[in-house]
Amino acid sequence: MKIVSTIRLGLLPFVQESLLAEVRHLMLVNVLLVLLIVGFSAGIILVLMRRAMRERVEAARLTAMGTATARILHQVKNPLQTILLHAEMLEDDRMVAEAELRREIARAIVGEALRMNDLLSELSAYASGIGRRLNREPLPLHTLVRDLAGVMEREAEQARFTVRVGPLAEATIDGDAYFLRQAIGNILRNAREALGERPSQGEGVLEVSLRCRGAEAIIEVSDNGPGIEPDRLSQIFEPFMTTKGKGMGLGLPICREIVEGHGGRVELRSRPGEGTIVQIILLRSPIGAALQPA
């Protein structure tokens, strides 16, 4: 018995060590199993999150497409209805017999056709997007701004608002005159249309200036129109977003795209009831900036 007890006592450490090794093995297996389950669960969660994100992006895209389509159809439908109405009026012999009325109807048809052409041109300009190729060359920016401001001054004589031009600092940039004319023209048209929506009291004023700040040339267009509400201001550069009853809301997105294509930026500030200030900031050409005073 003593010999058997001695043998059992001698084997006890080996048995304990074997049990501990088995426990450690089981713990390792359990840890690996837990990690596998956690990893698998994380993978499933990641897949579901990506799917949800794709669905949100798709839903946002479809919503944007729906908004754009509705806006385009609305803007095209209105002039078509006007053209159809006036065309039907021409079928009335009594109206055709009066020369002045006939000319008035014809002018209305031509006017709506031109409006539709402008809408489609704006849409085409936006659709060209990043495919737009800029033909950049030394451009006297002050001359371009002066010419566009002159157009506004001639329109102001009939629309009964005041245009104040200046100061116009001399600034030369490397730019595409055609597209910059389009961008600046969009800003000026927006300001002019804003003045048409202001209350009748007081004088409508549109101001245009050009100044230099270091290596930058800053075109500033301001108006004392109705301004833009804060909740719309953050969305003002989004396509098909407009505060006006007409137009597709592509003028500012096109303007920003053109300016950013020139390495510049567009900044806008507005207060309801006070008006809006838009700045187009472009880089002056290195040679011009060195020769011209800041």
- Quickly list DSSP for 116-161: HHHHHHHHHHHHHGGGPPP--EEEEHHHHHHHHHHHHHHHHHHHT-
Per-residue confidence (pLDDT) for residue 73, from 0 to 100 = 67
pLDDT score recorded for residue 68: 61
Task: Give the start-to-end residue ranges of the domains of the chain.
Answer: 1-131, 137-291
In DSSP terms, 206 is beta-bridged to: 163, 223
What pLDDT score does 117 carry? Answer: 75
Q: What is the pLDDT of residue 294?
A: 47
Task: Please choose, from the candidates 241, 257, 278, the residue with its C-alpha nearest in 3D space to the C-alpha of residue 180.
Answer: 257
CATH number of the 137-291 domain: 3.30.565.10
CB atoms inside a 10 Å sphere around CB 50: 10
Give the residue from 213, 239, 223 showing the smallest Cα distance to 70: 239
Residues 6+ apart with CB under 8 A from 250: 122, 123, 125, 126, 239, 240
Q: Are the CB atoms for 188 and 266 separated by under 8 Å?
A: no
How far apart CA 262 and CA 184 sit, in angstroms, is 13
Q: What is the pLDDT of residue 281?
A: 93
Per-residue pLDDT at 279 = 92
pLDDT at 272: 85
pTM score: 0.59
List, in sequence order, the alpha helices (H) in the chain.
Answer: 2-89, 93-97, 99-128, 141-159, 177-196, 230-233, 251-261, 286-291
Walking along the chain (294 residues) 10 residues at a time, the average pLDDT comes out as 50 60 70 74 75 70 62 68 78 74 80 75 64 79 89 78 86 88 87 78 84 92 85 74 63 84 89 87 74 50
Strands 137-140 and 162-168: unpaired
Most distant pair of Cα atoms in the chain: their distance = 139
